[in-house]
Amino acid sequence: MTEGFSAAEQAALLRSLLLEQRVLSLAVVADERPVIGLLPFALSTDGRALIVHASRLARHTAGLADGAPFDALVHETVTGDVGPLQVGRVTLRGIVRTFANHDTAHAGDRAVYLAKYPTAEPIMALGDFAFFRLEITGGRLVSQFGGAINLTARTLPSLLARSMPS
């Protein structure tokens, strides 16, 4: 990556991370202990949340109670020629919201997830899987070593919109 990312380049990086990357590292607290998991995700249509579908049998899912805090990390694919501190990444934090697989109020969240992962539809029928909406309250985008910007619930959707083609 080059020195001094412009606002447009930072917006493009954020959009790329949240739309093109397929998994996130999710940190939660379960049974009073920190737990981390790797989950597929999709960005909600309003750009204010991450949508995940997780098995209730997984240890990290115990930390996905309604109203619980979360932290998530999404990063660029790491290749051999990129220095570890140059990897573009975004950390996001917020509040977990649960919803039922057939909740009509969250049909858009399910649809955006299935558009990204069409082969996940059969898994939705399994009783131990559930959807979670990770509502973003803030975060930090790192475009390079020393190149970072803070994100808020207000600025995230506008930054994502800035990078959209006209």
State the Cα–Cα distance between residues 7 and 25, nearest whole angstrom. Answer: 25
The overall average pLDDT reported for the chain is: 87
| Residue 151 falls inside a structural domain | yes
For strands 89-99 and 33-43, give the pairing.
Answer: unpaired
Does residue 26 belong to any structural domain of this protein?
A: yes
Which residues constitute the domain of residue 127?
7-162
pLDDT at 68: 96
Domain count, the chain: 1
CATH number at residue 119: 2.30.110.10
* CA quadruple 33, 36, 40, 43: dihedral sign: positive
The answer to whether residue 1 is domain-embedded is no
Kindly indicate the confidence band of residue 78, based on its pLDDT and cuts at 50, 70 and 90.
confident
**2 within some domain:** no
pLDDT score of 1: 38
- Residue 96 CA to residue 43 CA, distance in Å, equals 14
pLDDT of residue 2: 41
Q: What is the pLDDT of residue 82?
A: 81
pLDDT tens readout for residues 115-143? 999 988 767 776 678 889 999 999 999 98
Distance CA 133, CA 96 (A): 6
The answer to whether residue 121 sits within a structural domain is yes
